Amino acid sequence: MKKSILLFAFLGILVIIACSNIKADDVSKTIEKTTEKITPPTKKLTEDFKKYWYAGTAEISSYQLEQARYGEIRKGTAVLIYVTEDFLPEAQVKADRQNANNIPVLKLNSTKKFNTGIYPYSIMQSTFYPVANNQHAIKVSSSMQEWCGHVYAQLNNKKQFEVLSHSYFQGEADQQFTLDKAILENELWAKIRINPNDLPQGNLKIIPSFEYSRLRHTKIKAYTAKASLEKKGSTNIYSINYPKLNRNISITFDNTFPYEIESWTETFKSGFGPNAKELTTKATKIKSIKSAYWGKNSNKDEVLREELGL
């Protein structure tokens, strides 16, 4: 019976091809695109994971920020917002309702706010990483605003990585291109929270964070890097070194579930021309809370910002 159904389906496609201007190659590509699916989880989620991440709340962590920019250190704040949600695989956006075809993801919204002299910077990156923890992030987006203008970049995980980038800078402007798939630095922050033992180590090819690429105006692509995981007391330190970029990043997190991120540093050359110098950005945790923040939008809820030191 199954063979008959498959045969009729195949004959139907042949009839469509014969009776229209559709090329066989186009039909083949369409079938490939629609049948591409996210690989199912290779292992079940732990009870601890489900209890913590599926409690109807997000984890919000605030950090005291020392941000290197234009050859100087700027004081500011950073916030990491982790939350699980359902994701639509084809539209690659948050799902409005539950469906068996949705992809469960751990989303990270990472924000930074700091001033450079008279004018402020606001940076946000969003990463949608499958809790299955066995493939790349499905989507990464990044936006940056300051008084000179704003920039935006987005990566969608399809047959290849599809990248869209907009900038007010000459030479960057409007770009659309594809990349071969490689490790995304943005996704590693989600992998830490799911299972740090699965973090990639050794000599690797990694696409740096979109924040770094836009701040330093470097090409968005994979660079040679070396990653390592080191245990230090009650914490782990995950480090990445990019030799060609003269950049190092280290993320310190608890070595027990839920692997909360305590701090991070990022060393690179800051500034341009004669003012450029190697500086280290630092972020140190202020406070973590669990909250359904999307419903905390009245004036009385501003007390939660005070609790977070924001």
Most confident of 27-36, 83-92, 223-232: 223-232
Q: Is residue 198 scored above 80 in pLDDT?
A: yes
Task: Say what the pLDDT of residue 18 is.
Answer: 42
What is the average pLDDT score of the chain?
A: 87
Q: What is the domain partition of the chain in residue ranges? A: 2-33, 61-307
Section 141-170 average pLDDT? 93
Query: What value does the mean pLDDT take over residues 111-140?
Result: 96
Query: Where residue 7 falls among pLDDT bands split at 50, 70, 90?
Result: very low
Which pLDDT value is given to residue 43? 62
* Side-chain half-sphere CA neighbours of 214 within 13 A: 27
pLDDT above 90 (res 66): yes
